[in-house]
Copies of this chain bind each other. A is one copy, B any other.
Amino acid sequence: MTKNRLEAFSDGVIAVIITIMVLELKAPEGAGVDALRPLAPAFLTYVLSFVFLGIYWNNHHHMLHATDRINGKVLWANLHLLFWLSLVPFVTGWMGENHFAAVPTAVYGVVLLMAAVAFTILTKLLVAEQGPGSRLAEALGPDTKSKVSLALYACAIPLAFANRWIADALYVSVALIWLVPDPRIESRLKR
């Protein structure tokens, strides 16, 4: 079974998700700078979600690049991941419209956590299919970044009810962990 259509379909779904999110940014009524101000929370949420989807696409790209064989379980694990990613526009819109209120912020974290869990399952199935000592297993290493991300999401969800800004700061931290390719941070995380 070849991976080409899996990549093409995932590219298509992520491309649509990352783009229809912008439909949540509704053109404001007025034509002045003031009309843009109420959009600031929605815009910031859009940027954050765009970065998360970009990280997923990047990681998906790298992981499948190092993959030689797929199987039927991988197809479903991939659809499971795309399911949680497909909810990102919904939670982005809800959190943005409600200016980072507690419940939408926690639900946003639940969707991010479930997407990260789905990605972990997909990784495990792909590594199992390639076999031990494969190029993919070697490229992933201990995969500390993924474990740290899962832990940070799991902390952020209850913290959203205590102080939502802590939860938002944790989401931004996860994004930065993946964005900043500082090798010292990476090696420190790996230890």
Contacts and interface: CB of A to CB of B under 8 A. Distances in A.
Copies of chain A in the complex: 4
A59 B61 CA distance: 23
A50 interface: yes
Interface stretch (A27-35, A114-122, A124-132): A27-35
Given A36-B107, A72-B181, A103-B31, A15 B24 contact: no
A33 to B, nearest CB: 5
Contacts of A76: 54, 58, 179
Interface size class of A (residues with CB under 8 A): 35 or more
A14 to B, nearest CB: 7
A28 B107 CA distance: 13
A22 interface: yes
A58 B75 contact: yes
A22 B90 contact: yes
A109 interface: no
A1 B139 CA distance: 13
A125 B44 CA distance: 27
A153 interface: no
Interface stretch (A91-99, A140-148, A168-176): A91-99
Interface string A3-17: 001111101111111
A54 to B, nearest CB: 4
B22 A98 contact: no
Contacts of A33: 103
Nearest to A60: B5
B19 A86 contact: yes
Given A65-B2, A75-B58, A75-B61, A89 B22 contact: yes
A87 interface: yes
A24 B22 contact: no
Contact of A22 (B15, B18, B87): B87
